[in-house]
Amino acid sequence: MLNEKIQATYDPQQHFLPALVSELHERQQKTWPQLADGISALSAAQVRAVECDGFSVQLQWNPQRIGSTAARVDESSIRERKCFLCVENLPAAQLGILYQKDFVILCNPAPIFPTHLTISHVKHVHQAIDPALELFLDIARDLGPKCSVFYNGPKCGASAPDHLHFQASTKNAIPVEIDVTDARRRHVLQKSAEVALLSLKRYGRSTLVFESTNRDELSATLRKLFSAWKNNLRISEEPMLNMICSYRELVWRVVLFPRAKHRPAVFFKEGDERVLVSPAAVDMGGFVVTPVERDFRGLTPGLIQEIFQEVSLESNRVEEIVKMMKS
C-alpha cells in the first residue's frame, strides 16, 4: 500500500528536497481535484491585520478549515473515526514523497498557505515530539530556507492527536518568523557556545526561542526544557506546546509556545457568543485562522489578547521552568 502512494523517495545524495516538493505540488494539482479545489478556495480567502498591545496578528477567513478548527479530538471521537493520516485511508489520488523511510510528505488539501504540507509517519504512532525531535530539525533543514516546519502537541492543536505528523508552510507566512528578528523584542535568557535561548518582549503570550547551528546540542537543550517542564508540572506526559522551526543561513530557529489550554472558553459558548478559534502553532504565531465570517469580522484586539493569555502557560511558570534547566 505504501509504495502505491510514493511519487518519489528522497535521497539526500541525489535529490534537492524543495525541487521534489515543487514537482509533487504541481502534479497533485493536476491529478487530485480536492487539492486543486483547496488551492482555488485559498485564493479567495480574506486576510486582515489587527493591531494589539505591542504586537499585531493577521486574521484569515478560510471556510475550508472548519474541519480542522472544530475537530473533535476527545478519545471517544478519535476511536470512532478512521485515521485520515494512515496510508490506507488517504484519498486514492493523493501521493507523497518518502522521507527518511518513516515519513511521507503530502500536500494539504485544505491549505492555509500557498505551500502547505503535511509530513506524516508511515505508521499509526501517537503524536509526540520527543522521539522525532531530530527528524523535525532535519526536515526543516532539508526543506530549505523557503519553508518552515511546525508541530502541534496532541492536546493543543493537532487534529490527529493519534498519528505523528508535522506540517510545513511558506517561509515568513507566520508573523512570529519576522517578529523574532526584531532586536527590540529579543530578550536573552540563556546563552552557551552552542545554543541561545530567548523570549520575546511585549508579545501577548509566552514565547521561547532557541537558536543554534548544532542540531544535537539544540535537541539536547530542548529535551532539558521538556524534562524541567514535566518536573515543574509534576506530569509524565508531553507538556502542551506548539513549535515552529526554520533553518536559514546554517542556523536552526525553534519558536516554542508553552500552552496551558487547548481552546479558549469562547470556543465552547453557544450562539452568537461562540468564537470558533482553536489556537495551534500557526495561530499562536500570529496568523489566526477563522473559518466563520462573523469571527473574522468581529474579533477585536482585546479578545485576541484574552485568547492568547488564556491558552498560554503563565509567564512566571515559564520563568521557573527555564531556571530549572540550569540545575
Q: How many beta carbons lie within 10 A of that of residue 292, not counting itself?
A: 18
- pLDDT confidence of residue 68: 76
Of 153, 195, 235, give the one whose Cα is nearest residue 326: 195
CATH architecture of the domain covering 3-326: 2-Layer Sandwich (3.30)
Q: Please give the DSSP secondary-structure letter assigned to residue 255.
A: E
**CA–CA distance, 18 with 147 (Å, rounded to integer):** 9
Reference 260, options 242, 285, 286, 243; nearest CA is 242
pLDDT-derived band at 66 (thresholds 50, 70, 90) equals confident
With a pLDDT cut of 90, the percent of the chain lying above it is 91
Residue type, 209: V
**SS3 state of residue 209:** strand
Q: Quick one: how far is CA 76 from the chain centroid?
A: 24
pLDDT higher than 70, residue 327: no
> In the chain, where does DSSP find H-type helix?
17-31, 33-43, 66-69, 75-80, 133-143, 176-179, 215-233, 281-284, 293-298, 301-311, 315-326
Provide mean pLDDT across the span 89-103.
Answer: 96
Give the Cα separation of 49 and 57 in Å (integer).
Answer: 6
- Confirm if 267 and 274 have CB atoms less than 8 A apart: yes
pLDDT digit string, tens, across residues 11-49: 999 999 999 999 999 999 999 999 999 999 999 999 999
Measured distance CA(324)–CA(206) in Å, rounded: 17
**What is the rounded average pLDDT for all residues in the chain?**
95
Rounded CA separation 158/45 (Å): 22
- Is beta strand 208-212 parallel, antiparallel or unpaired with respect to 195-200? antiparallel
Closest of 307, 297, 289, 293 to residue 65, by C-alpha:
289
pTM of the predicted model as reported, rounded to 2 decimal places? 0.96
What is the DSSP code string of 278-316?
---HHHHTTEEEESSHHHHHH--HHHHHHHHHHHBPPHH
* Amino acid (one-letter) located at 109: P
β-bridge pairing 56-61 and 287-290: parallel
Q: Are 47 and 59 in contact (CB under 8 A)?
A: yes
pLDDT digits 0-9 by tens, 135-166: 999 999 999 999 999 999 999 988 899 999 99
Could you tell me if 57 and 288 are in contact, meaning their C-beta atoms sit under 8 angstroms apart? yes
Q: Which residue in 219, 205, 209, 172 sits closest to 187, CA to CA?
A: 209
Closest to 111 in 3D by CA, of 163, 53, 45, 51: 45
Q: 116-121 and 165-170 as β-strands: parallel, antiparallel, unpaired?
A: antiparallel
279-313: per-residue pLDDT in tens?
999 999 999 999 999 999 999 999 999 999 999 99
